[in-house]
Structure 1
């Protein structure tokens, strides 16, 4: 299972992507998560991720991490403590001479570059004229300098017809992984930014996505599809589709346990990090964990620091006992199901009851079902009913970095 963590440095960004999970926080300079945190806090979070959660790699995000004033120092620190660092970036400020060389010297492992279209479409989606020209310059420089890179592409409505061409660009540039991600109703997207006009129909996605996957696999490039119903895939591509239950088995996805902690309010805003020890998934986590840190805040404001620490300790012991009894896979799978139900209010069509993959598929986003219904669902009947989240994905060939091979293979 994955040992990758994530840290959000602050929701300050030089783009305005309409599909962003943090679109409101980026637009509001007074939001407690908007401003970048201090370097000392970022280092403290990374140390917890390495020492407590035993993660071995990290995705560093902003907003936009390359405009974080002390990003090179943070990259070096992560590498020094054993967290191999990736930057998730829009690539606007990486083409200048010396920039990428500095990241390479600091120990960056790779870049995960956000390519959300081509030409004017990319500029329209990210809200900045000239962004596509800048990102292509940065990608070309990454290739020159010899820093590996992957692509993220969010499949909003205007981008869908371009998916095969984006695949060709990935092949030409030399990306080693491409992730096609559904336009998801996560975070700030629950506040009305998604509409029937900018969310594409799954049937339309399928046509373009099938061509893109075939192109990439013929070129030997790993391709992953995030958060679409499994029945949208052609049978040969089911191995490429990841819903919540599959995420933990991808080394480039985040550890649910550390992810649960880093997305709590105290870890995403400017103040100090929340009190330790930190919560583990499993029994009792649903009570202690709140994205805004409200439970912990209420306890501390009431002067119950001792009770708070005791609650964390009891929860840790109970969660560990639960994992020992049920197995780590079962605990992580239960967490995946909670996220699917809680974050997106996923729905199924009646035909899903006959689907052999229903138990490992999230279904349809709740608001997607409101926009378009669920009639696109198609029961997968060419397999026996399975309860194994890895049933399809174990057939996929994955790229595993050298540093991860001792535990990931």
Structure 2
């Protein structure tokens, strides 16, 4: 099946996201040096069976009320039944996105198969330009050229795409070039992701490629401005807003993420069990839990900051390594609205997805489905359903 594209809408309205996320498995054919999953044993990386995936998608759509879903990996395009899973999401009215390095879409027929399955868009990991990509990936040949061929194929097929870039020492000087590439190729959004030492990285005090916020900021500020000049939405993930003065509208800590339509609904992400869209108060409490889950802390300077109630602060490993001298508190009374800055950003959104799908799923039965993810607290990697059987 194919899915009728949703017209893009630029808006400053901020509503809670209706996007779910499902990890299809942690297997990948590159070894990005910053990957959270590189230290996970291979037996933990098997693919999610298609039946479990479709059950989770039904729950996202009919219990949690999600309208979009991101498929995560590993590299989801390697899942042997990825197209079937994408097609099921599209069929029930859950617009599917695949988060991918993109290289397997360099084959036009493979890219076209996702169109026929009903893909909504792709989120492509572009972590550098030219040889930098190979250095970061650690595996593969002609990686950047294959990524560019994939983007050209998506343009040929009329499939929207966005960029993710994880900011590390290796690529800081290329952030502006990535912004220009987004404009040249027609990416709608660029997400600039701060490397966060989650999961297995937490115990490593000295991470060679990790960069300080103050080292990133000058390059990042110029890249944001380049995106704006190209008409590309630019977002910064998990960097305190005080690190980008004058560009705070682009900055999303865990408190702002629920109000980005391209980010994940804490309710379905953690299978929290609240039927339908929760209230803003619920999302505020969920943001606090996310802050604690990933070990963000406020440094002493944050104590006098007006933004403290709606800012994660700094990751604990980061503070242990570099301290908190970079923090610059905002003056004034406490700010409790997480959209205080981000409501000033024009963001890409879409008209509401069709609610019905094709009628093949039964909403009443969806309430009885098993949980979509591991319970919160299972080795800290909440949100990833690990399948311990042998992968096909």
TM over 0.5: yes
Equivalent-residue separation in structure 1 for 2:292 and 2:351 (angstroms): 36
Counterpart in the other structure of 2:139: 128
Deviation at 1:67, TM superposition (A): 1.0
1:109 maps to 2:120: yes
Where do 1:44-55 residues align within 5 Å? 44-55=55-66
1:357 maps to 2:307: yes
Counterpart in the other structure of 2:193: 181
1:240 maps to 2:255: no
Find the partner of 2:217 among 206, 211, 218: 206
Deviation at 1:3, TM superposition (A): 0.8
Largest Rg, 1 or 2:
1
Aligned length: 339
Equivalent-residue separation in structure 2 for 1:53 and 1:191 (angstroms): 35
What TM-score does the superposition give when structure 1 sets the normalisation length? 0.79
In structure 2, the gaps of 5 or more residues are 1-15, 356-392
Deviation at 1:35, TM superposition (A): 0.9
Partner of 2:192: helix, strand, or coil? strand
Find the partner of 1:171 among 167, 174, 183: 183
Find the partner of 1:397 among 320, 331, 346: 346
Deviation at 1:84, TM superposition (A): 0.3
Q: Which structure carries more helix by proportion? A: 1
Query: Could you report, residue by residue, the CA deviation over 1:17-64 in whole angstroms, capped at 9, with x for unpaired residues?
Result: 122222223xx2222xx1112211111111111111111110011211
Question: Cα 1:362–1:81, aligned 2, differ >3 Å: closer, same or farther?
Answer: same
Contact preservation (8 Å) 2:99, 2:123? yes
Contact preservation (8 Å) 2:301, 2:324? no
Higher relative contact order (CA 8 A, sep 6+): 2
Equivalent-residue separation in structure 2 for 1:188 and 1:68 (angstroms): 24
In structure 1, the gaps of 5 or more residues are 262-278, 282-315
Equivalent-residue separation in structure 1 for 2:300 and 2:49 (angstroms): 51
Equivalent-residue separation in structure 2 for 1:9 and 1:114 (angstroms): 17
Counterpart in the other structure of 1:21: 36
Equivalent-residue separation in structure 1 for 2:130 and 2:285 (angstroms): 42
Equivalent-residue separation in structure 2 for 1:56 and 1:143 (angstroms): 24
Partner of 1:151: helix, strand, or coil? strand
Query: Could you report, residue by residue, the CA deviation over 1:104-155 in whole angstroms, capped at 9, with x for unpaired residues?
Result: 1111000000011111211111212432221111112111221100000001
Question: Cα 1:196–1:68, aligned 2, differ >3 Å: closer, same or farther?
Answer: closer
Equivalent-residue separation in structure 2 for 1:172 and 1:207 (angstroms): 22
What RMSD in Å do the two structures reach over aligned CA positions? 1.9
Equivalent-residue separation in structure 1 for 2:101 and 2:47 (angstroms): 17
Partner of 1:245: helix, strand, or coil? coil
1:218 maps to 2:226: no
Counterpart in the other structure of 1:280: 273
Counterpart in the other structure of 2:160: 148
Counterpart in the other structure of 1:336: 287
Contact preservation (8 Å) 2:95, 2:353? no
Deviation at 1:280, TM superposition (A): 2.3
Counterpart in the other structure of 2:19: 4
Counterpart in the other structure of 1:274: none
Counterpart in the other structure of 2:360: none
Equivalent-residue separation in structure 2 for 1:353 and 1:214 (angstroms): 31
Where do 1:255-404 residues align within 5 Å? 255-261=265-271, 279-280=272-273, 328-343=279-294, 345-381=295-331, 384-404=333-353
Deviation at 1:191, TM superposition (A): 4.4
Partner of 1:244: helix, strand, or coil? coil
Partner of 2:343: helix, strand, or coil? helix
Counterpart in the other structure of 1:119: 130
Contact preservation (8 Å) 2:151, 2:185? yes
Equivalent-residue separation in structure 2 for 1:87 and 1:390 (angstroms): 27
